[in-house]
Amino acid sequence: MIKQMQEFTNYLLVEKEACTAQADKLCKDSRMDECNLQKIRANIFDIFGTMLSVGCKQSGGDAEKAQQFFLQKLDTIPQSWKISLAAAKQHGDFQKQTAEELKLQTVEQIRKKFAELLEASHD
């Protein structure tokens, strides 16, 4: 399971770097709205990369504890984004709504990939 955690850490890093590279390209093309959205995605991958690292360190090598820590963070961190999304919808703040939806979509992408990793480790 530790090997899978390392693979997932690499996945998060690769995704973050891809988003950062895309953001740089968009910024150079003066496509600032799209650039900022890619920066948001990169930040989400970075946040959860950090959470996975913290979970692994706090677990003392216990993969099950690290997994539970990470899954908990996948549930708790997005709660404030959901609240912010609801407020943005209520106030008609399309820019904020788009950003919050992107954060939540990125978390779901991470959750899905992590679930795939867990399934593969049980095979």
Interval 11-18 mean pLDDT? 97
Given a cut of 70, whether residue 5 has pLDDT beyond it is: yes
- pLDDT per residue as tens digits for the range 39-98: 999 999 999 999 999 998 998 878 889 899 999 999 999 999 999 999 999 999 999 999
Give the pLDDT score at 121: 73
- Nearest to 106, CA basis, from 25, 15, 26, 18: 15
HEC readout, 76-117: HCHHHHHHHHHHHHHHCCHHHHHHHHHHHHHHHHHHHHHHHH
* pLDDT, averaged across the chain: 93
Long-range contacts for 22-31 (Cβ within 8 Å, ≥24 apart)?
none
Q: Rounded to two decimals, what is the model's pTM? A: 0.93
Given a cut of 80, whether residue 24 has pLDDT beyond it is: yes
Measure the CA angle with vertex 83, ends 70 and 34; round to 5°: 80
